Amino acid sequence: MSATLQIIIAVSVVVAALATAAVRNRRRVAAPPTQPRGLLPSQVDRADFPRSESPWCVIVFSSASCHTCAEVVKKAEVLACDEVAVVNVEFTANRDLHQRYSIDAVPGVIIADHNGVVRAAFSGPVTATDLWAAVAECRNPGSSPEPELGR
């Protein structure tokens, strides 16, 4: 076999391999873009929660099987007063609200005003100090040394 024929065969094999690779790349389906998870709502319908007439509402999205959730609920319950409603939205008992607000991770805490606008939120565990300071800041802007908490 002559050297020219060997070169022609080698080039043909390379071209065939490149063509096959190009066809396979065209057939490859691109993965969908990733979607953020663990986001808390920025607006709620206050009628979905008890004491909708109160000026402020601290809503804790939780699960009975989550030990951290139980701690966060205890920290939030201390805030309950005439001006602040505190609601524990436990997953098993309130699955519909978790689905309505696309809650896919717990604990999650939101602080909503009388119109349901979320003024602060925490995903995951939160210290009592940070939660209480965020509620104070929402109720009385400028009262907290860290006004950005929960934002």
Confidence of residue 83 (pLDDT cuts 50, 70, 90): very high
Q: Is the pLDDT of residue 120 over 90?
A: yes
CA distances from 65 to 25, 90, 118, 138 (A): 45, 10, 26, 30
Q: Where are the domains of the chain?
A: 1-30, 46-139
Confidence of residue 75 (pLDDT cuts 50, 70, 90): very high
- Residue among 47, 51, 40, 42 at smallest CA distance from 119: 42
- Residue among 125, 141, 45 at smallest CA distance from 133: 141
- Whole-number pLDDT of residue 63: 96
pLDDT digits (tens, 9 = 90+) for 22-35: 777 776 666 666 65
Report the CATH fold assignment for 46-139. Answer: Glutaredoxin (3.40.30)
This model's pTM is above 0.85: no
Q: Is 82 helix (H, G, I), strand (E, B) or coil?
A: coil
Residues 6+ apart with CB under 8 A from 60: 69, 72, 73, 76, 86, 87, 88, 89, 107, 108, 109
DSSP letter (8 states) at residue 141: T
- Whole-number pLDDT of residue 67: 94
Phi first, then psi: what are they for 96, rounded to 5°? -60, -40
> Which comes out higher in pLDDT, residue 30 or 123?
123
- Please state, as a whole number, how many other Cβ atoms lie within 10 Å of the Cβ of residue 84: 18
Q: Is the pLDDT of residue 55 over 90?
A: yes
- Whole-number pLDDT of residue 19: 78
> Which comes out higher in pLDDT, residue 59 or 17?
59
